């Protein structure tokens, strides 16, 4: 019986094939297939795939291409109807992901494709066989639910298999982008699938964070902007300087270079990030909160956002920026109010910075002033509910907020007169 070649011999065969065939699609595809299933054997970098779009110097052309990719992705999503408790049989025809397939093993086991409703899943969860291609979980709601219920934590073999597949794809994608090509259409589907998986487990995978960290310096600020925002909104609270250096600053640099209204676009992202961090704070016990850097990171995030808000107000000559700023702070104080009664430790009251309050109060449109007053009313109720609770506010923040109320009341009286 002939033995399989050892890894060193396999690498030699690969190098010989590359020398004789170049980037022949069939050979490249075969090597990719082997590397996906045997990553310990195929260790080298696979040649660049064909069909990549060359980098185009015309920003308008690139923008139109991004819009076409986005429209195609939305159309595909609309075509494939999703039943959360039934495997989608047609996903593979329109998607980069393989459809869910299970190899029957007998012995009373159940294939995931046989599940038709929630009662079926609960009754047979212990007998369900894992599908062959677990990466399909990024595209199939039922497989995601199964992994959430059946996997044994983040270190389970199922999760590790998905991470291995993602690491190979992200490695190829980074090589693809660094050579000057626009991001592939497949990346959009992958990021959307990772987002769906992340929402079930509200912690982002380290392999995804590493990819985004390396991808942001090459990013054009336009491609997959919503997906990038959605994923980075799950960055865990840790040392804020590290978070800022690795993700926030590169993100801001790319957005500023590609969007004329960059501060407004960034506020959309920071609204998501603030809400997620607030929810993380609400789930922490007091001892855990004191031992971590979460509270400091959250406070510094609010300070950082206030600078973004000031930049938005200064850069815009119309009321669009003011409306976006008011919307962000309204969302923040409302989220804090809704979580305040549910958290084991009191959340700090969010007091908007002075430049936001006074710029909107004296220069904003009447609709923005109305939104500002609603925000201040919600904040006032938060102060009233936090009386007697330590850690929710300081004397300085109370005095600052009271000053807002008096100044706006005086200003309103002057305008009325």
By the 10 Å C-beta count (0-12 exposed, 13-18 middle, 19+ buried), 274 is classed as buried
Predicted confidence pLDDT, tens digits, the chain (417 residues)? 444 444 455 555 555 655 565 556 666 666 666 655 555 444 444 444 444 444 545 566 666 666 666 666 555 554 444 455 566 654 444 567 778 888 777 777 888 888 888 788 778 888 888 888 888 888 888 888 888 887 665 557 788 888 888 998 999 899 888 888 878 888 988 998 998 888 877 778 889 999 999 999 999 899 899 999 999 999 999 899 999 999 999 999 999 999 988 999 999 999 999 999 998 888 887 777 766 788 889 999 999 999 999 988 887 766 788 889 999 999 998 888 877 666 666 778 888 889 889 888 887 688 888 888 899 998 988 888 877 676 667 888 889 999 999 988 887 654 444
Distances (CA, A) of 369 to 150, 357, 358, 397: 51, 9, 10, 21
Contact 296, 342 (CB under 8 A): no
- pLDDT (0 to 100) of residue 79: 45
- pLDDT (0 to 100) of residue 273: 96
Residue in 278, 383, 280, 375 with CA at minimum distance from that of residue 334: 375
**Residues forming a β-bridge with 111:** 129
By the 10 Å C-beta count (0-12 exposed, 13-18 middle, 19+ buried), 95 is classed as buried
- pLDDT (0 to 100) of residue 390: 64
Residue with tokens 């609309």: 78
- pLDDT (0 to 100) of residue 340: 65
Whole-prediction pTM:
0.76
Domain ranges of the chain: 7-50, 235-417
Q: What is the distance between the alpha carbons of residues 201 and 31, in angstroms, rounded to a whole number?
A: 33
Contact 328, 305 (CB under 8 A): yes
């Amino acid at each position: 019986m002939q033995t399989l070649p050892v890894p060193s011999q396999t690498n030699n065969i690969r190098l010989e094939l590359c020398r004789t065939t170049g980037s022949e699609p069939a050979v490249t595809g075969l090597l990719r297939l082997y590397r996906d299933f045997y990553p310990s054997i195929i260790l080298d970098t696979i040649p660049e795939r064909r069909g990549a779009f060359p980098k185009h110097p015309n920003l308008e052309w690139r923008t139109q291409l991004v819009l076409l990719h986005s429209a195609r992705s939305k159309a595909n999503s609309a075509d494939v109807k999703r039943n959360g408790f039934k495997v989608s049989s047609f996903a593979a025809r329109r998607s980069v992901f393989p459809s869910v397939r299970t190899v029957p093993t007998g012995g009373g086991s159940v294939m995931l494709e046989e599940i038709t409703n929630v009662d079926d899943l609960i009754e047979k969860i212990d007998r369900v066989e894992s599908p062959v291609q677990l990466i399909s979980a990024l595209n199939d709601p039922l497989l995601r639910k199964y992994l959430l219920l059946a996997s044994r934590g983040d270190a389970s073999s199922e999760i590790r298999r998905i991470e291995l597949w993602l690491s190979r794809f992200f490695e190829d994608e980074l090589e693809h982008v660094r050579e000057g090509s626009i991001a592939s259409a497949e990346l959009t589907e992958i990021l959307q699938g990772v987002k769906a998986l992340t929402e079930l487990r509200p912690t982002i995978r380290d392999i995804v964070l590493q990819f985004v960290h390396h991808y942001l310096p090459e990013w054009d600020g336009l491609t997959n902007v919503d997906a990038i925002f959605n994923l980075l909104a799950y960055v865990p609270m840790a040392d804020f300087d590290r978070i800022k250096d690795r993700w926030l600053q590169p993100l801001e640099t790319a957005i500023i270079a590609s969007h004329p209204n960059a501060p407004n676009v960034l506020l959309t992202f920071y609204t998501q990030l603030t809400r997620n961090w607030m929810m993380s704070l609400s789930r922490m016990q007091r001892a855990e909160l004191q031992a971590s850097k979460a509270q400091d990171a959250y406070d510094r995030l609010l300070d950082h956002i206030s600078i973004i808000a000031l930049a938005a107000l200064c850069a815009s000559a119309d009321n669009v920026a003011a409306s976006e700023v008011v919307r962000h702070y309204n969302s923040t104080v409302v989220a804090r109010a809704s979580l305040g009664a549910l958290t084991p430790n009191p959340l700090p009251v969010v007091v908007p910075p002075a430049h936001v309050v006074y710029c909107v109060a004296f220069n904003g449109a009447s609709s923005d002033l109305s939104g500002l007053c609603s925000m201040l009313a919600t904040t006032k109720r938060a102060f009233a509910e936090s009386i007697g609770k330590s850690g929710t506010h300081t004397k300085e923040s109370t005095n600052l907020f009271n000053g807002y109320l008096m100044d706006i009341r005086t200003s309103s009286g002057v305008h009325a007169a």
